[in-house]
Structure 1
Amino acid sequence: MQEIIKAIEESARRIKYLIETGDTGKSQSENSTGDTQLKLDIQSDEIIEEIFLKIPSIKAIVSEEQDSIKNINSDGEFLIAYDPLDGSSLVDVNLSVGSIFGIYKNEFNAQNIIASVYVVFGPRVEMVVTTDDVKMYRLLNNEFKFIQNIKLNEKGKLNAPGSTQNCWAPFHKQLIDDIFNDGYRLRYSGGMVPDLHQILLKGGGLFSYPGTSDKPKGKLRQLFEVFPFALAFEKAGGGAIDGFKRVLEVETSHIHDTTPCFFGSNNEIKRVLEVYSKNV
């Protein structure tokens, strides 16, 4: 596992330089889910794949930017699903973005995720590693140094509501309105990594990306985005649900499956469950 963490650190240093110097324009291609790829997406993907190909313990990898699983070492132990540059469209307006990694064994599904890592590229570069606990590291003098353990409070103060609001179910809109009416503060950049990182570091709150009339199964991808952060939130003492059950109990039938998702501290997660249970 440690060699995988070191590989992610190497990729982070290279992607940091790419973000600072690279072309933020669109490419001529789309990924498997129909999103137009930015040149930064493709180059970040290439950087991570090149580094992972050198790691003997990695059995297979799958990227959000690729159509299929790539087998690497038949006698490897770990499977890695990753989003090379989540929120890449925010780079050209100089907002924070990130990379997300889910580390699995045996199969790519929620039951088999054993660790996760995400990297935030902002004013500072920070890496959060989730195994039995959640640890944050910061890039200082080109090396990642341990900063702190992350633990959520029972109740937070932030609300980050995602997806297209005019496609929300009425009961979901009422839930979000009620949370704001209770004094929660809006914090939403459109980047999953920095928004969830902020909730983790500030002690709690709610990030939501529900199923909607245009996307009933949500937009965020299970293997690359949702499951890695679900593990982090649970290990930090909070929760991650699809509205009705733990995200880490959601079934996966295809590598690019999506799911509605809510991440937060326990008070907010309980609140979502109560509302959604009445609106099945």
Structure 2
Amino acid sequence: MIFFQKMAQEPIDTNCMTLTRWILAEQKKYAPTGTGDFTQLLASLQTAVKAVSAAVRRAGISDMFGVAGNVNVQGEEVKKLDVLANELFINMLRKILKFCHHIYQENDNEIEVETERQGKYIVTFDPLDGSSNIDCLVSIGSIFAIFKKPHDEPLAPGDALQSGRQIIAAGYALYGSATMMVLSAGHGVNGFMLDPSIGEFVLSDPDMKIKPRGKIYSINEGYEEKWEPAVKEYVKSKKMGTPYGSRYIGSMVADVHRTLKYGGIFMYPATVDSPKGKLRVLYECMPMAYIMEQAGGMASTGTKPILDIVPTSLHQRSPIFLGSKDDVEEILEVIAKHAAK
């Protein structure tokens, strides 16, 4: 009874900043030249995330666990929730007709809007990152990036293969103990928590910044024997003296979000089996690198910034090292030392 009395006495914020209000406030910064297209695009992504979040919460009850019986273009087993999340994102974006096309993980081709309805944005996304963890209820997420169409003519092959420096907005949604959207439109990073009581994302983490150095490293140490010598040396150094903590979930969104909040470094290096890396450039590496740089961190392939990559194919892969600036610079020094031998 005392618990409920205390709850009742807590003041209610009647002027909270919702994601919808934040998006509209951003639009006003570009008035009167702003058309509202970008606002509608972000609003549709928000709605898609809400729908995916609801599906994830009801997956067990609705028999959405398990595989769908097919594989995606990368040869990976597709889960039932993968399929549903794809459809939710595609349908929400198609309805507003404000984007040119979108590229997503489960398909080998772009989804393109009819020429007469083409807008001026290109959206790349992974609708359900970490789906191998779905059945055991580990945190999973969605990742997206938004580019501008590079010209006013009808869409041409290769228009989506842009440098990460051309991203105008990126973000991710985390479906964990709560649902959270982390978003940047080029002016810092903000986190919005989904309040189920009102069905709105509420600003909970304004102007997110990553620590210059952390105390956690995140990597799948099961592949240690297949790493390059530089990576082995760096990870070994993190276990010496005052050791770093080791944390690895296996869901990129969850691992990167923890790195953003607590500092440290997330690594998915090349291996003997995957010499070009495993994570996809356009809809995994680039959006996360954009968020990390906007928050004051770094993201590198090991030899150059992730955002400097100009991809040559839709599903191109890359090694990635991202997180606190000092931590990333430290491993880049080790990689450079080995390369100079």
Q: CA RMSD in A?
A: 1.3
Partner SS, residue 166 of structure 1: helix
Q: How does 1:102-121 map to 2 (within 5 A)?
A: 102-105=145-148, 106=150, 107-108=159-160, 109=162, 110-121=164-175
Moved more, 47-56 or 155-164: 155-164
Aligned partner of 1:6 in structure 2 is 43
Aligned partner of 2:202 in structure 1 is 145
Aligned partner of 2:156 in structure 1 is none
Moved over 3 A (4+): none
Confirm whether residue 19 of structure 1 aligns to residue 56 of structure 2.
yes
Counterpart amino acid of 1:151? K
Give the TM-score, by structure 1 length.
Answer: 0.96
Q: CA deviation at 1:223?
A: 0.5
Match of 1:51 among 84, 92, 96: 92
Q: Check the 8 A contact 1:101/1:228 in 2, yes or no.
A: yes
Partner SS, residue 240 of structure 1: strand
User: Residues 169-196 of structure 1: CA distance to partner in whole angstroms, max 9, x if unpaired?
Assistant: 2221110111232421111100100110
Partner SS, residue 54 of structure 1: helix
Confirm whether residue 276 of structure 1 aligns to residue 276 of structure 2.
no
Q: CA deviation at 1:112?
A: 2.0
Cα distance in structure 1, aligned partners of 2:171 and 2:264: 21
Cα distance in structure 2, aligned partners of 1:138 and 1:172: 35
Cα distance in structure 2, aligned partners of 1:73 and 1:150: 38
Aligned partner of 1:189 in structure 2 is 249
Confirm whether residue 127 of structure 1 aligns to residue 127 of structure 2.
no
Confirm whether residue 77 of structure 1 aligns to residue 120 of structure 2.
yes
Q: Check the 8 A contact 1:100/1:119 in 2, yes or no.
A: yes
Q: How does 1:226-265 map to 2 (within 5 A)?
A: 226-265=285-324
- Provide closer, same or farther for how the CA distance between residues 73 and 135 of structure 1 changes in structure 2, counting only shifts above 3 A: farther
Partner SS, residue 81 of structure 1: strand
Cα distance in structure 1, aligned partners of 2:307 and 2:46: 26
Cα distance in structure 2, aligned partners of 1:11 and 1:165: 37
Cα distance in structure 2, aligned partners of 1:220 and 1:73: 30
Q: CA deviation at 1:279?
A: 2.0
Structure 2 unaligned blocks of 5 or more: 1-37, 151-158
Moved more, 130-139 or 153-162: 153-162
Partner SS, residue 47 of structure 1: helix
Q: Check the 8 A contact 1:159/1:180 in 2, yes or no.
A: no
Structure (1/2) with the larger strand percentage:
1
Structure 1 unaligned blocks of 5 or more: none
Cα distance in structure 2, aligned partners of 1:263 and 1:207: 5
Match of 1:161 among 219, 224, 241: 219
User: Residues 209-268 of structure 1: CA distance to partner in whole angstroms, max 9, x if unpaired?
Assistant: 111111011100001100000000001001000001101112311000000000011101
Give the TM-score, by structure 2 length.
Answer: 0.79
Match of 1:93 among 114, 119, 136: 136
Aligned partner of 1:224 in structure 2 is 283
Cα distance in structure 2, aligned partners of 1:279 and 1:2: 47
Moved more, 44-53 or 7-16: 7-16
Partner SS, residue 145 of structure 2: strand
Counterpart amino acid of 2:96? I
**Percent identity among equivalent residues?**
31
Structure whose CA Rg is larger = 2
Partner SS, residue 208 of structure 1: strand
User: Residues 147-177 of structure 1: CA distance to partner in whole angstroms, max 9, x if unpaired?
Assistant: 1221012111111013722211222111011
Counterpart amino acid of 2:166? N
Aligned partner of 1:39 in structure 2 is 80
Aligned partner of 2:16 in structure 1 is none
Counterpart amino acid of 1:85? L
Q: CA deviation at 1:73?
A: 5.2
Cα distance in structure 2, aligned partners of 1:20 and 1:127: 16
